[in-house]
Amino acid sequence: MRIRFPRLIVPSFLLAAAALVRADDGMWLLNAPPAAQLKERYGFEPTPAWLEHVQRSAVRFNNGGSGSFASADGLIITNHHVGFDAIFKLSTKEHNLLKEGFYAKTRAEERKAVDLELNVLQSIEDVTAKVNASVRPEMSAAEVLAARNAAKAAIEKESFDKTGLRSDVVTLYQGAQYHLYRYKVYTDVRLVFAPEEQAAFFGGDPDNFEYPRYNLDISIFRAYENGAPAKIEHHLKWNPAGTKEGDLVFLAGHPGSTQRLITMAELEYARDVQLPGVLRWMKSREVLLNSYAKRGAENARQVQDEIRGIENSRKVYDGRIGGLLDPQLVAAKQAEEDALRKFAQDKPELGAGDAWDKIADAQHVIAANAARYNYLESYYLNSSLYKIARDLARVAAETQKPNGERLPEYRDSAKNTFELALFSAKPIHPEVEQLKIEHCLTLMAMELGANDPAVKIALGGKSPAVRAAELVNGTKLLDIAARKALYGQSPDALAKSDDAMVQLALALDPAARAVRKTLDAQSEAKQQAHARIAKVRYAKDGDRVSPDATFTLRLSYGAVKGIDAGGAKVAPYTTLGGMFERAADRGNVPPFDLPASWVAAKGKLDASVPFNFISTCYSIGGNSGSPTVNRDGEFIGIIFDGTIETLVWNYAFSDTRARSVSVDVRGIVEAMRKIYGADALVEELLGKK
């Protein structure tokens, strides 16, 4: 964006906020669609059949993205950057599929992903009453947490046992509602098609979150069941006619998380503690991995997955902190909270009372423990091997407990997902592991203090470099058989293991559990307070507000629309020809260099075919790969990005200049046929075969 718009006119939030009332706001539950708004603004009424068809066609990539079924024989389209992890794990030093691209001309050539899990939402059930049934007013926050956890575990287990479907209780409106989501799970997923990363991520990190764009950010997989292509009832029909400016479009995908309904105390925590901490962590890792990658091509290949992820996230968090440091955004949030609190004060019968203060109190405890929680509980020394060791140590202890008392990730209902990750054959490079552990131990000592007892355990009386070498050289967990040998052992047996990683995981576990317990109790206290606030909000605004995103299926809507603000005007569509112009303009230097396949096919391509387009649909990380759908429920594109102004969408929506960015179905079809010669696959995608 810096290149296209003079930076002086960076939009202030106030400018954006003016448009708020009319904006195509919301990430809506499929069982509570924004029917009134759609009718009023676009004269469109989604039928139950339309909703069910879209819901069952939508696919969740469990590693953090979205996609959609595209044929009756199980074809699924997602972004290249969502499929990236699977493609990366199928790559070797000799065959880097990210670089070369991939096309299975026959089903026999389709390549099974190493550890990919897909979820397809089958049903939603409101279980709020059931979850809350065991909660008594006299309970402490910790007791409420235990009671609710037990209730959720029971609901999930009962559902799983009855239906065989993955069953997750989802917390909505920060704890005001609990819904049971049942998913059909696919774990035999095979790679069918991927362009070269150069085409998928043309412009690289510099162009990420910018527009205009020219990215064939797609990859195509096929779901299998029992060794054969899955038979799919609901899949989206592709409409190769595409869209035109002004058309109503929908996204059906899995936005990861938003923080729109947080209180000011939570916003201040995000601004003053959380985002600064995440950014420190991320930028330090970006420097580490880039300096490793610069040592040679094979080094670069080993860590490209992680570098891509960090570059992307770093832009996201930089954008968010920029938003939270905008006094106008903060003032708008403050005004919103003031109005809500005033409303609550005037209606004491709603019982919100001191809910905001309770959240502030909990947030202070969370702030004081945040770094400790991250380093002991959630960063896993930034090591795949340590994560495996920790999971082995934890699962041994947790399976001693009744299902309802376990940490959620070790419950019976999560077992399949857990084992898929534990026994994954994904490549692990010891040199990278060692480097990352040394780095994480150093950061841990810097953030928690070298004299912290847990840091001393982690370092074991050695320097980070020496300790990292000792841990990596002292573990056998690189070998899947070694993991299997330790899995299912009793805690006592595990304690006798001479595996250095396992021993460290066991030694750090008490401190890690302690800080998690502290934070879980505070989160629960916040949920209880949020549930009270939600009642106030509902009394004041009705169902005008959708719940914050939770990496569950949501529907958002908007129009195909260019950007016209501050003097700069950007058309909604780019063309295939535009990519060649942009490459020439940037001197064909990476990341603006064209793949050889594109250069070779230039003469055959219709340069005027639409390639990428923007819309006002509300999206956020996790939405990547969501189908862009028209009124008829047809696939007309696939979202892959948002402009830089979308980064504050985590806290507040505006569509003055912020836009979601999709690949156009017309560009996909033209490129697959003319550049990649994937006509047979295109025939299947267009339902002609």
List interacting residues with a second copy (CB under 8 A).
2-3, 7-8, 10, 12-13, 204-206, 271-272, 275-276, 279-280, 283-284, 286-287, 290-291, 294-297, 311, 314, 318, 321-329, 431, 434-435, 438, 441-442, 445-447, 449-450, 459, 461-466, 468-470, 473, 586-587, 589, 591
- DSSP strand pairing (627-629 vs 58-61): unpaired
Nearer to a second copy, 64 or 591 (CB): 591
Least distance between a second copy and beta carbon 205 (Å): 6
Within 8 A by CB and 6+ apart from 212, the residues are 4, 570, 571, 574, 578, 582, 612
Which residue, 96, 140, 200, is CA-closest to 671? 200
Residue type present at position 115:
D
Least distance between a second copy and beta carbon 369 (Å): 19
Q: Are 642 and 619 in contact (CB under 8 A)?
A: yes
Residue type present at position 298:
E
Other CB atoms within a 10 A radius of the CB of residue 15 amount to 15
Structure tokens, 444: 């841990």
Least distance between a second copy and beta carbon 108 (Å): 35
Least distance between a second copy and beta carbon 551 (Å): 27
Q: What is the DSSP string of 245-299?
A: TT-EEEEEE------TT--HHHHHHIIIIIHHHHHHHHHHHHHHHHHHHTT-HHH
Nearer to a second copy, 615 or 654 (CB): 654
Strand order through the sheet with 573-575: 28-29, 554-559, 248-253, 627-629, 635-642, 660-664, 610-615, 573-575
Nearer to a second copy, 141 or 445 (CB): 445
Least distance between a second copy and beta carbon 506 (Å): 22
Least distance between a second copy and beta carbon 323 (Å): 8
Least distance between a second copy and beta carbon 155 (Å): 41
- At CA 204, angle to CA 201 and CA 206, rounded to 5? 145
Least distance between a second copy and beta carbon 591 (Å): 7
Contacts within 8 Å (CB) and 24+ apart, 599-603: 601/674, 601/675
Nearer to a second copy, 231 or 462 (CB): 462
Rounded to the nearest 10 degrees, what angle do helices 355-373 and 430-448 cross at? 130
Nearer to a second copy, 360 or 669 (CB): 360
Residues facing residue 663 across a β-bridge: 612, 638
Q: Give how far Cα 279 sits from Cα of 110, 282, 310, 387, Å.
A: 39, 5, 10, 22
Q: Are 62 and 118 in contact (CB under 8 A)?
A: yes
Q: What is the 3-state secondary structure (H, E, C) of 341-371?
A: HHHHHHCHHHCCCCHHHHHHHHHHHHHHHHH
Least distance between a second copy and beta carbon 138 (Å): 38
Nearer to a second copy, 395 or 441 (CB): 441
Nearer to a second copy, 7 or 22 (CB): 7
Nearer to a second copy, 155 or 468 (CB): 468
Nearer to a second copy, 111 or 283 (CB): 283
